[in-house]
Structure 1
Amino acid sequence: MSTITGNALKSGQPPIIPLTFSANQPKTIRLYPLSNYTFGVKEMQPEEDPSVVARLRRLEEHYTEHGMRRTCEGILVCHEHNHPHILMLQIANAFFKLPGDYLRPEDDEVEGFKTRLDERLAPVGKLGENEAPGDWEIGECLAQWWRPNFETFMYPFIPAHVTRPKECKKLYFIQLPNSKILSVPKNMKLLAVPLFELYENTARYGPQLSAIPHLLSRYNFEFYDEEGNIVAATPGGATNGDMPQTKVLASGDDADTDMNSGENGAN
């Protein structure tokens, strides 16, 4: 931090430094560059349901037998050009979603969630020799979305007339280490989407994903380079002038590469 402030004070018009403004602030989050991570492709994971109607029917069957369905998804953050990017899946070139899925009825919440993250993103075979199963740092629950009925709509609150919601989806912050190997099923794409692309972009990403910038606004960030040095921090910090944009990190033969044809990610 001192290096960054020192560089700023060398400018022609040094900034006025206000008193500290970090009372009751959550811990500062370290973000590592996208280039620190290795991305691969593994066997495809076909969707369980061929249609929205089939998915809702399966939800109804689950509710009848096990009660409210529990779903966990992860917000994994890295940076490119000192701007936060969210790692996100694009499935069948049709919709976007965060890594994770519904828990099995017998699963512990956190351990079951780690298993689901492994299924989506853990490498297999020789690529993952140094990766331990369930090696995820599950952070704070940043949001809860509720499905009041057997329909597609979810809300960040329980409507007043609803006493038995059919599903609760939790969004957890996942602290990424300084390096990691990730593999995506070959019928999906793994994207790095900048926060500004998500912000208020409900038409493309749906209400859950477009709300992520709001959820992360409570944190301050430190941006690290490949050598482990802080190159920028909240607030301030210079960039090299390149414009951040969504990047396809991994994509199998069965996943189309057109970034503009995805529909919104509410599901």
Structure 2
Amino acid sequence: MSTITEVALQSSHPPIIPLSFNGNQSETVRLYPLSNYTFGVKETQPEEDPSVIARLKRLEEHYSQYGMRRTCEGILVCHEHNHPHILMLQIANAFFKLPGDYLRPEDDEIEGFKARLDERLAPVGRIGEGEERGDWQVGDCLAQWWRPNFETFMYPFIPAHVTRPKECKKLYLIQLPKSKVLSVPKNMKLLAVPLFELYDNTQRYGPQLSAIPHLLSRYNFEFVDDNGKVVAVTPGTGAPDGYVPSTKVLAGDDTEMNEGIKEENGAA
């Protein structure tokens, strides 16, 4: 931080430094570079339901037997050239979702959520070889979305006339460690999506995912380079000249990491 400030003060037009503006600030989040992580693929995980109608029917059956469905999804954040990127799944080149899923009726919330993250992203063969199950740092709950009826619409509030919502989905911040191995099912893609791509982009990503930049705006970030040094903070230095953040395919669907920039035709 001091180095960044010193560089700024050496400018021919030094900035005017205001009083501290960090009252009641959430804890600063440290982000590690995308290059720190290893990505692979594992066996296909077919969707449980062949259609939206079938999915809503299964939700209705779940509700009649167990009550409101509990769903947890994770916002996994890293950075590339000091710009935050969200790790996100794309299924059948058609829609995007965060890692996670509904909890089993008997599951504890956090432990059940960790188990669902393992199912989606834990590499086969690594569990039991120096890595433990549920090795996820589940942070703050950033949002709750409610499904008032057996329909596709979810809301960030419970409508006034609804007393028995059918599903509650929580979005949790997952703080990634310095390095980690992640594997995605063959029928899915793991993407790194920059915040600017999500912001105000409901047409492509839908209201839940496009709201992520708003949810993360509460945090200040520290950006760590490949050598483990903090090289930028929020606010702080920007990306290198000429760099434009873009979505990257990391793994899945017969792709290799760093294959390049790809645009997919998808719906939210």
Which whole-Å deviations, capped at 9, do the CAs of 1:198-250 have from their partners, x for residues lacking one?
A: 00100000000000000000000010001111111011213212111000000
1:88 and 1:98 in contact (8 A); partners too: yes
Q: Residues 119, 236 of structure 1: CA spacing in aligned structure 2 closer, same or farther, 3 A cutoff?
A: same
Percent identity between the aligned chains?
78
Which whole-Å deviations, capped at 9, do the CAs of 1:117-165 have from their partners, x for residues lacking one?
A: 0000001125983322100000010000000000000000000000000
1:90 and 1:97 in contact (8 A); partners too: yes
Partner in structure 2 of residue 120 of structure 1 = 120
Aligned counterparts of 2:73 and 2:66: Cα–Cα separation in 1: 20
Aligned counterparts of 1:126 and 1:141: Cα–Cα separation in 2: 28
Aligned counterparts of 1:213 and 1:175: Cα–Cα separation in 2: 16
* 2:10 paired with 1:31: no
SS in 1 for 2:245: coil
**Structure 1 alignment gaps of length 5 or more:** none
| 1:121-160 paired onto structure 2 within 5 Å | 121-125=121-125, 129-160=129-160
* 2:71 paired with 1:61: no
SS in 2 for 1:125: coil
Which whole-Å deviations, capped at 9, do the CAs of 1:4-63 have from their partners, x for residues lacking one?
A: 111111112111111110000000000000000000000010000000000000000000
Aligned counterparts of 2:216 and 2:254: Cα–Cα separation in 1: 33
Moved over 4 A (4+): none
Give the CA RMSD over aligned residues: 1.6
* 2:267 paired with 1:263: yes
**Normalising by the residue count of structure 1, what TM-score does the alignment of the two structures yield?**
0.95
SS in 2 for 1:245: coil
| 1:1-267 paired onto structure 2 within 5 Å | 1-125=1-125, 129-241=129-241, 242-253=243-254, 259-264=263-268
Aligned counterparts of 1:31 and 1:145: Cα–Cα separation in 2: 26
Aligned counterparts of 1:64 and 1:254: Cα–Cα separation in 2: 41
1:186 and 1:254 in contact (8 A); partners too: no
1:147 and 1:168 in contact (8 A); partners too: yes
